[in-house]
Amino acid sequence: MTDLSKRGLSDIEKLKAWFLWREGKTLSEIGLTLDRHAGSIFGVLKLKGGISPVQRKRRLSFLSLEEREDISRGLASGLSIRAIARNVEKAASTVSREIKRNGGIAKYRAVTADKNALERALRPKQCKLQKGNPLSDLVESKLLDDWSPEQISGWLKIKHPASSEMHISHETIYKTLFIPSRYIFEKAVLSHLRSKRKLRHGKRSTNKGIYKGIIDAKTIHERPHEIETRATLGHWEGDLISGSSNSHIATLVDRKTRYTALVQVNGKDTENVVNALILKFNGLPKALKNTLMWDRGMELADHKRFTKNTSTDVYFCDPSSPWQRGTNENTNRLLRQYFPKKTSLHGFDQSYLDKIANKLNNRPRRILNYLTPNDMIKNHVALTT
């Protein structure tokens, strides 16, 4: 696995990200494929507004990187310009100009020369929509009137049939809206688009099987009815409580017995959280590993790996519905006695967390007729950790 904390995607990763985006994959799916955070993928795509950049191609007559490396090796070997030109099958004047514009014989480097050539070859094409021109003003007014780019494009062809300078494709309008470097329209224009999206999505884009970016998620509405009755053990509610300095602890509570378990996690990313939960659940008896309810946090985006390794199904709550994990929410409030808000949680090792969990598990609870969670557990199954 790659280090999720490293900064920036490589050129190859960016190409893969754009390919998957064109295929209709979500940010979360791309992140899981590349082993990166969805936010990192969003940052790359946002630079182009979600519109896949056209891959640049060299003309066959241009020098390639391999030919430039042949020139560099020839210079290092002391060959003449004409001898090098024969080797690369180019005119001597072409090789001579190539060397002169890239530092001369002493400083010529193939990779640097190739990069410089690509930069010099850029020919920025002026967009048809420019700040203040009549077409731009007209398009902007229609966008503010809640017209879609496709409607504007079609209407302009009818309104100005003989004036090609007043014609524009809907895709050009979308590019002007979404590509940050263009800055043609006011930001308020985006709020008038029906989708309210921040990126341009392709035709293959779909949310099927996605639950706030979590792939193949099972919702609370799909879990067995017996869980609602609290008749059986092993149905857990879980969450993270957070402290200062980006520190977190995973909290788990069994719905029937109110038995609490605390899990040390090294980070909020899905790899660290899922690894810690797998280790914890695999230390529980089979009778206590039935289901896990979680909110819609991306820390459980890799829930399928958790299920595969623990045989425990994961279900996700609806958005902004903490009452669907009410037992866990109440437990988290009790835990704030020991882990106040804005306190760093980095200094608490697993043995200390087990000690605090044991305090809660040995408290009599009114909801349990003043039995303790440990009493409830002992009445049903011998707990081994």
Tell me, letter by letter, the H, E, C secondary structure of the chain: CCCCCCCCCCHHHHHHHHHHHHCCCCHHHHHHHHCCCHHHHHHHHHCCCCCCCCCCCCCCCCCCHHHHHHHHHHHHCCCCHHHHHHHHCCCHHHHHHHHHCCCHHHHCCHHHHHHHHHHHCCCCCCCCCCCCCHHHHHHHHHHHCCCCHHHHHHHHHHHCCCCHHHCCCHHHHHHHHHCCCCCCCCHHHHHHCCCCCCCCCCCCCCCCCEECCEECCEEHHHCCCHHHHCCCCCEEEEEEEEEECCEEEEEEEECCCCCEEEEECCCCCHHHHHHHHHHHHCCCCHHHCCEEEECCCHHHCCHHHHHHHHCCEEEECCCCCHHHHHHHHHHHHHHCCCCCCCCECCCCCHHHHHHHHHHHHCCCEHHHCCECHHHHHHHHCCCCC
If we measure between CA atoms, which residue out of 3, 31, 40 comes closest to residue 215?
31
The stretches in the chain having pLDDT less than 70 are 1-7, 55-57, 60, 122-126, 180-183, 195-197, 202-213, 381-385
Structure tokens at 366: 């009114």
The model's pLDDT over 81-109, given as tens digits with 9 standing for 90+, comes to 999 999 989 999 999 999 999 989 889 99
pLDDT on residue 139: 86
Contacts of 66 (CB under 8 A, 6+ apart): none
Q: What is the pLDDT of residue 8?
A: 77
Whole-prediction pTM: 0.50
User: Nearest to residue 331, comparing CAs of 257, 277, 251, 385?
Assistant: 251
pLDDT of residue 118: 80
What is the reported pLDDT for 37? 80
pLDDT at 204: 60
pLDDT at residue 203, rounded to an integer = 62
Q: What is the pLDDT of residue 275?
A: 95
Per-residue model confidence as pLDDT tens digits over 249-260: 999 999 999 999
CA 326 to chain centre: 29
